[in-house]
Chain A
Amino acid sequence: MFGNLGKASKYLGQAARMMIGIPDYDNYVAHMKKNHPDKPVMTYEEFFKERQEARYGGKGKGGFRCC
């Protein structure tokens, strides 16, 4: 929870963490394990980056896709 200090806004609405949320990552891992056991699973940091890019229109345009 305190791994990314100094980067978030003081207002909860703009705090980056909310954009992904822990449950999202958990769901993603669970989904990958269940449906794609042969594929590599992103780390929390990779997942965070991916989600941010998806949201802010980076290279992952079109939103998060795992399959």
Chain B
Amino acid sequence: MAIPATILTGFLGSGKTTLLQHILKEQHGYKIAVIENEFGEVAVDTSLLGDRATNITTLSNGCICCSSQNELSDALYDLLDSIDDGSLSFDYLIIECTGMADPGPILQTFFSSEVLSERYLLDGVITLVDAVHAMQQLDQFSIAQAQVGYADRILITKTDVNPDTKALEQRLKQINIRAPQYKVIQGQIDLSLLFNIEGFILNDQLSSNTLIFNPVTPVQQAMAIQSFVIRLTKPLELSKISEFMDELLVTYGDQILRYKGLLAIQDDDRRLLFQGVQRLYSADWDKEWQADEKRESILVFIGLNLPEQEIRQGFDNL
């Protein structure tokens, strides 16, 4: 069975280590392995470590801590080797990214080879956001925005220091309307909130009511990651929407972080689902529309400087 994996990201000082310490020390019954992403940070003499040297330490509660100076994929393969030779076993894998890391390439690593795609199941991206400094970081660093943009769950930390998070919550929602937000103090969190998110499984979680925007002023920023929702009541012609989506990905593939959709297709009683990360996507038919359901297409895009009006217009013209 594939090993579920979670990517834990967040800007410098957002509380990732505190959360991890909580996760690793707690007697929760899970055997969790953590890979600390130090990849490429320090120019260590890798000839001393060998090509694929991953430091693996087993903690008293069965949790495993790994650090590697090499690529993430090397560490992922090393863990698989250790499972195969029987020296390790664990139920769950967490990747702790450094504060300045872009989750994009880390996420892509899980889809980069057949072996990694089959033996790991990337469950979700959890992004920590510090209630004290996040607004400033989001203004200054597009990487901080990308970390929020890729998220399946957002954890707002340090709310004990700054309990007034209303504006921040709005801002985060503007960047990523999909991800639910939770407040966490001192890393105390129910692990069920972090696990089994199914962030990269084709499902219809979009039909929830979370996708409702309060009108907010668009962020005037040179590099702004924002999300938008498109709702279409007219059933779509399969070939046309297919072609239009291809075009969107070809044109804006570098700017799109994540997207999901549930579509009502002309002359078909089934719902069509799709989801993607940058240019990688999957799509398939889902169950039939129920009699009490409104046949409406819902699409969510999260991207950097996407021309929202132009894209909306394109969908309206279909």
Contacts and interface: CB of A to CB of B under 8 A. Distances in A.
Contacts of A13: 110-111, 116-118, 120-122, 200
B280 interface: yes
B260 to A, nearest CB: 11
Given A5-B283, A6-B285, A23-B253, A12 B276 contact: yes
Interface string A1-36: 111011011111111011001110010000000000
A9 B284 CA distance: 9
Contact of A11 (B114, B201, B250): B201
B6 to A, nearest CB: 14
Of the four ranges (under 10, 10 to 19, 20 to 34, 35 or more), the interface on chain B belongs to: 20 to 34
Given A13-B117, A22-B249, A8 B282 contact: yes
Contacts of A26: 250
B251 to A, nearest CB: 10
A1 B276 CA distance: 11
Interface residues of A, number: 21
A2 B283 contact: yes
B274 interface: yes
B257 to A, nearest CB: 14
Interface of B: 110-111, 114, 116-118, 120-122, 200-203, 238, 241-243, 245-246, 249-250, 253, 272, 274-277, 279-285
Interface of A: 1-3, 5-6, 8-15, 17-18, 21-23, 26, 55-56
